[in-house]
């Protein structure tokens, strides 16, 4: 059983802050995805948790026990953390069964216990039929499963995975995502899963932590992240849509925010208590719909680009009141206007970014 707790965690390389002021608690048994663009500090954060880097600020606790703070480090092998990376690092001269059993052998387990745990790990990862093969005779997905089984065999209460599917093709990734979800259900381990793929994070995680330039931007369930992004970075990074400058006037009796957007009054959602004034709002494509150009409360616009997406067309719309702005709307193929056409946009919702 392992809760993971990071408090004010920081790590610098020279004058570059790779991880800064990270506060995060991952509950026992939770599946947390750590999501962010390349270079934002994900791997460094994971290496800090595993014990391969020493923090220069803050602390790390696993299962209520402090394992790291500046100047005091518990070595990796004493943290009971399982690791899975994208490079499988399997022993090429050993069979699948030998690879999986290797950590148990090193730990000096009695033979009967070793066989029991090895076979259980092979079964959990669907590798029973491949026990005698060498890694060279396996597909990429099978090799990744061996790496997973080798981690699982130690029954670690905390498992860290660093982009484990990044080397696999799209179909295999979908299948392996299911395996990771199944692995999590069966073991009940606390999991921190690094990815730069938001679809993967959404499919797998209880909560997603979005990281940017070494800092956590938001930690929330996938739906909350999409519908109520805490920052413009999160709104832009998760899903599609548009960010627009607007003016928050105040809240109406039903809790909706009254907002002025290019001289039109629209009603959006906002965090209660947010002060009136200039704001940035996130408008998702499904919150916009096409209508006649000149109705009341309608935003007249022109189609700048129409990109076919298979069944639907992505429309890049330029409001007449704001030629520098751009709104994304997805319209079924049959009713989609073409480039240059004049349309009306009805705004059915949106979210005021709180910061």
Ligand X SMILES: Nc1ncnc2c1ncn2[C@@H]1O[C@H](COP(=O)(O)OP(=O)(O)O)[C@@H](O)[C@H]1O
Number of residues that bind Mg ion (CB under 5 A): 2
Contact flag: residue 39 with ligand X (CB under 6 A):
yes
Task: Draw the binding track, 41-60, toward ligand X (x: CB under 6 A; -: no contact).
Answer: xxxx----------------
Residue with Cβ nearer ligand X (20 or 98)? 20
- For residue 10, the surrounding DSSP H or E stretch is strand 4-13
* Residue 18 interacting partner from Mg ion, ligand X, none (CB closer than 5 to 8 Å by kind): ligand X
Assign 180 to helix, strand or coil: helix
Residue with Cβ nearer ligand X (36 or 229)? 36
Assign 192 to helix, strand or coil: strand
Which of these ranges, 39-47, 143-151, 262-270, 272-280, lies near Mg ion under the rule CB under 5 A? 39-47
Of the candidate residues 13, 89, 106, 271, the single one contacting ligand X (CB under 6 A): 13
C-alpha 314/C-alpha 244 separation (Å) is 18
C-alpha 146/C-alpha 152 separation (Å) is 10
Strands 57-62 and 31-35: unpaired
Query: 31 CB contacts (<8 Å, ≥6 apart)?
Result: 181, 184, 191, 193, 204, 205, 206
Helix and strand element counts for the chain (H, E): 8, 21
Contact flag: residue 17 with ligand X (CB under 6 A):
no
- For residue 264, the surrounding DSSP H or E stretch is strand 264-268
Assign 114 to helix, strand or coil: helix
Tokens of 172: 């295999």
Task: Draw the binding track, 284-313, toward ligand X (x: CB under 6 A; -: no contact).
Answer: ------------------------------
CA dist list (Å): 67 to 21, 64, 81, 158, 261: 17, 9, 11, 13, 51
Contact flag: residue 215 with ligand X (CB under 6 A):
no
CB 271 within 8 A of CB 328: no
Residue with Cβ nearer ligand X (168 or 270)? 168
Contact flag: residue 18 with ligand X (CB under 6 A):
yes
* Residue 41 interacting partner from ligand X, Mg ion, none (CB closer than 5 to 8 Å by kind): ligand X
CB 201 within 8 A of CB 177: no
Contact flag: residue 87 with ligand X (CB under 6 A):
no
List the beta bridge partners of residue 65.
62
Residue with Cβ nearer Mg ion (42 or 184)? 42
* Residue 40 interacting partner from Mg ion, ligand X, none (CB closer than 5 to 8 Å by kind): ligand X
Residue with Cβ nearer ligand X (39 or 276)? 39
Contact flag: residue 38 with ligand X (CB under 6 A):
yes
Residue 354 CB-half CA count within 13 A:
12
Contact flag: residue 208 with ligand X (CB under 6 A):
no
Number of residues that bind ligand X (CB under 6 A): 11
C-alpha 71/C-alpha 110 separation (Å) is 37
> Phi, psi (5° rounding) for residue 275?
-70, 145
Minimum gap (Å) between residue 197 Cβ and ligand X: 13
Contact flag: residue 142 with ligand X (CB under 6 A):
no
Contact flag: residue 43 with Mg ion (CB under 5 A):
yes
Single out the residue of 234, 185, 211 nearest to residue 177, CA to CA. Answer: 185
Minimum gap (Å) between residue 354 Cβ and ligand X: 25
Which of these ranges, 42-50, 208-216, 237-245, 308-316, lies near Mg ion under the rule CB under 5 A? 42-50
Minimum gap (Å) between residue 43 Cβ and ligand X: 3
Task: By CB under 6 A, name the binding residues for ligand X.
Answer: 13, 16, 18, 36, 38-44
Residues at the contact surface with Mg ion, assessed by CB under 5 A: 42-43
């Amino acid at each position: 059983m392992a809760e993971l707790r990071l408090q004010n965690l920081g790590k610098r390389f020279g004058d570059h802050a790779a991880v800064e002021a990270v506060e995060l608690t991952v509950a026992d048994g939770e599946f947390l995805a750590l999501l962010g663009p390349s270079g934002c500090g994900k791997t460094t954060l994971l290496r800090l948790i595993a014990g391969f880097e020493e923090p220069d600020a803050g602390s790390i606790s696993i299962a209520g026990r402090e394992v790291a703070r500046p100047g005091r480090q518990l070595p990796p092998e004493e943290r009971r953390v399982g690791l899975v990376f994208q490079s499988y690092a399997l022993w090429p001269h050993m069979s699948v069964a030998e690879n999986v059993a290797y950590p148990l052998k090193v730990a000096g387990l009695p033979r009967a216990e070793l066989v029991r745990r090895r076979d259980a790990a092979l079964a959990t990862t669907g590798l029973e039929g491949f026990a005698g093969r060498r890694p060279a005779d396996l597909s990429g997905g099978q090799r990744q499963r061996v790496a997973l089984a080798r981690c699982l065999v130690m029954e670690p209460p905390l498992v860290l995975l660093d982009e484990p599917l990044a080397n696999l093709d799209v179909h295999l990734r979908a299948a392996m995502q299911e395996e990771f979800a199944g692995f999590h259900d069966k073991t009940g381990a606390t999991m921190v899963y690094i990815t730069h793929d938001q679809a993967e994070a959404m499919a797998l995680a209880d909560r997603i932590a979005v990281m940017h330039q070494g800092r956590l931007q938001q930690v929330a369930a996938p739906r909350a992240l999409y519908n109520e992004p805490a920052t413009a970075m999160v709104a832009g990074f998760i899903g599609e849509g548009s960010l627009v400058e607007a003016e928050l006037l105040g809240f109406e009796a039903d809790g909706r925010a009254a907002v002025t957007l290019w001289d039109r009054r629209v009603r959006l959602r906002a965090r209660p208590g947010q002060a009136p004034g200039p704001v940035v709002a996130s408008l998702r494509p499904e919150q916009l719909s096409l209508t006649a150009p000149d109705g009341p409360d309608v935003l007249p616009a022109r189609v700048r680009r129409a990109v076919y997406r298979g069944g639907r067309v992505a429309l890049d719309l330029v409001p007449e009141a704001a030629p520098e702005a751009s709104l994304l709307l997805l319209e079924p193929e049959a009713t989609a206007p073409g480039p240059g056409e004049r349309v009306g946009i009805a705004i059915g919702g949106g979210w005021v970014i709180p910061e």
